[in-house]
Amino acid sequence: MHIERICLKNFKSFKDVTIKNMPSFMVVVGANGTGKTTLFDVFGFLRDCLTYNVKKALQTRGGFKELLSRDAREKQIDIEIKFRLEIAGVGRLVTYRLSITEEKGRPLVKREILRYKRGPYGSPYHFLDFAKGQGTAINNEEDFNLPDHALKRESITLDAPDLLAIKGLGQFSRFKAASAFRQLIEHWQVSDFHIDVARGSKDSTGYDDHLSITGDNLQLVARNIKDNHPEIFKHIKQAMQRRVPGIADIQTLDTEDGRLLLSFQDGAFKDPFIDRYVSDGTIKMFAYLVLLYDPKPHPLLCVEEPENQLYPTLLWELAEEFRAYARRGGQVCVSTHSPDLLNAAQLEEVFWLTKKEGYTPN
């Protein structure tokens, strides 16, 4: 899957903005306050809406009024995403649209639509169409030999008007596009890496399939890759050796009290250093490599200002790592203030945000 276009209305500083022709590797630049973090939060907001509900997603952002653009004439937030998805062996452009409003102080889904063309001609067909907790969904959409009138449309009532229809319907394989889009949202990641929580010993058991948003399971994921994907871990170590002077080896260590540590061997010293005593840049570069060499890439990965704590000359190679990740199937969006990372990007990969009269213009 590949996101090609995003349309936003009344989402914070994005009063009416369309971002189109989004590449596999996208570098977002702009002055402070132009909307780089807000753009990434669109993805985080959708993920929270799916994981919890619209009310919870709004509450963590200060409520509906805080997310709504200032002085918005229409008290409604619109998010539209167009993405490529293979359905019945054919790549199709699918559109997902979500409109959120408030009634009597309670947030609700005013409209939720999932549509795409069944054939090369004609208008996109609504395979999911819901409003205020009620709507319909097509359950035999994969049978493209059937005429439109033979499609089976189910009428469904959700448990609450602030729930997304794709949250429930996406659990069932008969709703193909809804299920695929739910999986897309569930598995994309908006990284918020914190070096302080990534350091130190960790419980030796826990989630180790992917690096967490904050990186607090770095040791567990590293061990998982080392044990189950030794060739990938070898590549990670080789990349670290090229990028960080003195690094000769990296290992995961199990302690007697059931904890897990990372150790870094400096070729100039006999004894290795545990991660608590290595530099912030070393930890961050290792975490990025663990993230970017993930055996199962996230369909969408957003990283804010990856240049922090990294030496400028490393950013050219980091840009190449992001591109390689995208080639393996994970679309990448990064924001930056670094001239070095910007210089490492190709022209078609750069999206420049500006602000005019309080809003990010189209």
Residue 124 sits in a domain whose CATH number is: 3.40.50
Q: Are strands 125-131 and 134-138 parallel, antiparallel or unpaired?
A: antiparallel
Model confidence pLDDT, tens digit, residues 32-43: 989 999 999 999
Report residue 137's pLDDT band, with 50, 70 and 90 as the boundaries.
confident
Considering the domain architecture, whether residues 19 and 151 belong to the same structural domain is answered as yes
Q: Is residue 304 part of a domain?
A: no
Q: Is residue 40 part of a domain?
A: yes
Q: Is residue 70 part of a domain?
A: yes
Model confidence pLDDT, tens digit, residues 207-239: 999 999 999 999 999 999 999 999 999 999 999
- Tell me if residue 286 falls in helix, strand or coil: helix
Q: Are strands 331-336 and 90-103 parallel, antiparallel or unpaired?
A: unpaired
Nearest alpha carbon to residue 127 among 86, 196, 178, 195: 178
Considering the domain architecture, whether residues 245 and 114 belong to the same structural domain is answered as no
Considering the domain architecture, whether residues 151 and 210 belong to the same structural domain is answered as no
Considering the domain architecture, whether residues 39 and 170 belong to the same structural domain is answered as yes
Gap between the Cα atoms of 142 and 310, Å rounded:
48
Q: Is residue 325 part of a domain?
A: no
- The structural domain count of the chain equals 2
Considering the domain architecture, whether residues 55 and 119 belong to the same structural domain is answered as yes
Considering the domain architecture, whether residues 46 and 173 belong to the same structural domain is answered as yes
Longest distance between any two alpha carbons in the chain, whole Å = 75
* Backbone phi, psi, residue 15, to 5°: -75, -35
Considering the domain architecture, whether residues 254 and 160 belong to the same structural domain is answered as no
Bridge partner list, 114: 96, 128
Contact 271, 242 (CB under 8 A): no
Model confidence pLDDT, tens digit, residues 256-293: 787 888 888 886 666 677 888 888 888 999 999 999 99
Domain boundary among 164, 187, 210: 187
User: Which positions ≥6 away from 163 have C-beta within 8 Å?
Assistant: 53, 54, 109, 133
* Containing structural domain, residue 94: 2-187
Domain boundary among 232, 248, 279: 279
Q: Is the pLDDT of residue 60 over 90?
A: yes
Model confidence pLDDT, tens digit, residues 300-354: 999 999 999 888 988 999 999 999 999 998 899 999 999 999 999 999 999 999 9
Q: Is residue 292 part of a domain?
A: no
Considering the domain architecture, whether residues 221 and 86 belong to the same structural domain is answered as no
Token duo for residue 254: 């199990």
How many helices and strands, by DSSP H and E, does the chain display?
A: 11, 17
Instruction: Compute the C-alpha angle 346/351/357, nearest 5°.
Output: 155
From residue 223, alpha-carbon distances to 251, 254, 257, 265 in Å are 8, 10, 17, 16
Contact 74, 10 (CB under 8 A): yes
Considering the domain architecture, whether residues 169 and 127 belong to the same structural domain is answered as yes
User: Residue 269 CB: number of other CB atoms within 10 A?
Assistant: 10
- Tell me if residue 229 falls in helix, strand or coil: coil
* Backbone phi, psi, residue 240, to 5°: -65, -40
Bridge partner list, 85: 92
Gap between the Cα atoms of 209 and 211, Å rounded:
7
Considering the domain architecture, whether residues 105 and 217 belong to the same structural domain is answered as no
